[in-house]
Structure 1
């Protein structure tokens, strides 16, 4: 392992050391926000039974959430400029609190779908802004900050299914109510402990179109599109595996808890090692091909194989989440908020498309395994895009090296 690689990708213990309270408070809120992704997993089968919903309707709880989140991502930079980072972040948290609380009171699947859309808007305001806050405030450089962000992502993905399983075993309304309470705590902590926003004159103006314009950077564009195809595969596992397994809330919850623990562990422990061995791009290419192999194994439909592959996919996802985020943030040359919004717009667009289409793909192709085959194909496309970006970067000496903190200051 080279010395430069070690410096570019610090260990988690180094990233945790000496961080200001702003980072810790934002990371705590991020854990709760990311819980919302896997929270619904354990209760998908319960919802279809309790509310008489079809699987394609139940997966829309992901689709509406991510679809609105994708569009709202474009607003985050402009919101941060007009109202300040802290206000934008807290506004997102408040929207999540309101939406999650109302979800606990909903009486039909259509209402839940619409409320999850509001939840997605709140998540968009929070996620992109939180990444900006953590990268801007963390000590130890950009890669250490991204490691902290991905640690929060992994912890949220692990705790979400567990909370959904425990509370969902009592009532499908429980996970939504529990999230609303926890998110309210996060909102209060952020309101009290984050530093006050600077005046607008101290911030560079950000237009609505800027997140799309930043994608004119070809390295950032290729990385973002590659991430979109990978995220489509990621959400195929989250949204469809529970239906293939056909188990109750507790069983699904603990399977995805194991998956989430693997995401958290690999994102902060394995990803830096993979990046040091193969580089960010090379490591991401190897990992996304391995992801395709796991999806093809899931397509066998054998329950024991699906369970093992779901959990193992968490190890690969943790590596991919960290390497894609690091590579994208290093590729951009504009403001952090704009780079983050542009990257997350395409990243979550892939997830939204997957969540909306996954149930229909199974119906159209007449097979419960069909979504896994399609997702494996998405992974191969992602690998191809990364290969193209790697070759282009090597040929262009002006390209910022992977891991370099070459993004504009806020």
Structure 2
């Protein structure tokens, strides 16, 4: 893999998407794609069962929100070592190791009866997910025969589909028992493992020929100010993202099926906009400007949820609408990070992901605590404030990040 960031400009991706070549990928790409959907299901799968877990295990909202905190905190730290592991094991075995870890910890979570045990096991699940997620993008780009642009869009499609299907499956299995989603992920991971080990080729490089990545590389990457700006922006944005994910289920007053359908609508919009709308926004308005507008609108959406928290239909509509904003922003910020600095792609992703998931680790627990300390409105208002700060950060550092809009053509 080259030592410079390859072109991940999305402006031609949406046009090529419709030509048909996008879908003519090697079987190995589709195996990683399918496994990616399952891995990203884990993010939203527990959403519809958060109230049920709290009720069945006599846990508070803030304790249940730690299921997201432990998952994201371990993911953040693990992102720093995934490159080192992958450079030694190779992409295929790193992906398979991630799948095995996810399957084991999700199965153990489904068999546990103690909230603190499950919180710890979700951390293990997060480690497996970090191994998988950090390697999946590189794998799809390397194995794809249609260029980096379309490979990135294919990866974002897997993210979107996983996030959208996860809550629906979680609601369906969760209505049977709260253990269902945990055991369901473990079962699906077995299928993903079989698909990957069968369809994904071995690396052409011998172990000694693979370039070794140091644990310190992501920290060295953070000397690039643009990468730090986007990482901190994502950290602040994730305060809002995970306030919505981890806290909104408690104020909607819906059962597992109802929550599953709300987050399905949210996820479908997220998937659609990340693949089809974000490239067009980038082409017309530029990455930085489009990202800033999407973040500002998301802050307003959270503020609306904070003001009308007691109006069920307002919260439901706001959650679904937020999916469109989040889908656009996820793709735009991924493209920006890939073009932000002259750092090898996986290293830049690891450094950025470390900062991003720190926000996702703090936000769920903070939201639950704010609701306990003050009232149900405050978590959304505080989340809106953090997202607004991310816009201020981008605007204040515009001259350090504006180059990402031109990186696609000459980087």
2:17 and 2:235 map into 1 onto residues whose CA distance is 26
Q: Give secondary structure in 2 for the equivalent of 1:57.
A: helix
Q: 1:333 deviation in Å?
A: 1.6
2:337 and 2:356 map into 1 onto residues whose CA distance is 10
| Aligned match for 1:372, one of 363, 375, 380 | 380
8 Å contact kept, 2:371–2:377: yes
1:279 and 1:57 map into 2 onto residues whose CA distance is 41
Q: 1:400 deviation in Å?
A: 7.5
| Aligned match for 2:331, one of 314, 317, 322 | 322
Q: 1:204 deviation in Å?
A: 1.8
2:94 and 2:394 map into 1 onto residues whose CA distance is 33
1:23 and 1:342 map into 2 onto residues whose CA distance is 25
After superposition, where does 1:120-131 map in structure 2 within 5 Å?
A: 120-131=126-137
Q: Give secondary structure in 2 for the equivalent of 1:124.
A: helix
1:325 and 1:340 map into 2 onto residues whose CA distance is 8
Given the alignment of the two structures, is residue 162 of structure 1 paired with residue 162 of structure 2, yes or no?
A: no
2:405 and 2:332 map into 1 onto residues whose CA distance is 15
2:358 and 2:15 map into 1 onto residues whose CA distance is 30
| Mean Cα deviation higher: 196-205 or 238-247 | 196-205
Q: 1:393 deviation in Å?
A: 4.2
2:116 and 2:17 map into 1 onto residues whose CA distance is 42
| Aligned match for 1:208, one of 197, 202, 215 | 215
2:235 and 2:121 map into 1 onto residues whose CA distance is 24
Tell me the residue number matched to 2:18. 13
Q: 1:115 deviation in Å?
A: 0.8
Q: Give secondary structure in 2 for the equivalent of 1:145.
A: helix
1:13 and 1:354 map into 2 onto residues whose CA distance is 38
Tell me the residue number matched to 1:337. 346
1:337 and 1:328 map into 2 onto residues whose CA distance is 11
1:314 and 1:135 map into 2 onto residues whose CA distance is 26
1:330 and 1:306 map into 2 onto residues whose CA distance is 36
Tell me the residue number matched to 1:192. 198
Tell me the residue number matched to 1:355. 364
> Under a length normalisation based on structure 1, what TM-score does the superposition of the two structures give?
0.93
8 Å contact kept, 2:340–2:401: no
Moved over 6 A (4+): none
Q: 1:5 deviation in Å?
A: 7.0
Q: Give secondary structure in 2 for the equivalent of 1:391.
A: helix
Tell me the residue number matched to 2:3. none
User: Any idea what the Cα deviations from partners look like across 1:56-88, whole Å, max 9, x if unmatched?
Assistant: 111111111111111111111100112111111
Tell me the residue number matched to 2:231. 224
Q: Give secondary structure in 2 for the equivalent of 1:401.
A: helix
Tell me the residue number matched to 1:30. 36
Q: Give secondary structure in 2 for the equivalent of 1:195.
A: coil
Seen in structure 2, the aligned counterparts of structure 1 residues 192 and 404 have a Cα distance that, compared at 3 Å, is: farther
Seen in structure 2, the aligned counterparts of structure 1 residues 21 and 405 have a Cα distance that, compared at 3 Å, is: farther
Seen in structure 2, the aligned counterparts of structure 1 residues 91 and 236 have a Cα distance that, compared at 3 Å, is: same
1:10 and 1:124 map into 2 onto residues whose CA distance is 31
Tell me the residue number matched to 2:4. none
User: Any idea what the Cα deviations from partners look like across 1:315-356, whole Å, max 9, x if unmatched?
Assistant: 000000000001101113222221121111111111111123
8 Å contact kept, 1:294–1:309: yes
2:262 and 2:270 map into 1 onto residues whose CA distance is 13
8 Å contact kept, 1:45–1:247: no
After superposition, where does 1:170-181 map in structure 2 within 5 Å?
A: 170-181=176-187
| Mean Cα deviation higher: 13-22 or 366-375 | 13-22
Q: Which segments of 5 or more consecutive residues in structure 1 lack a partner in the other structure?
A: none
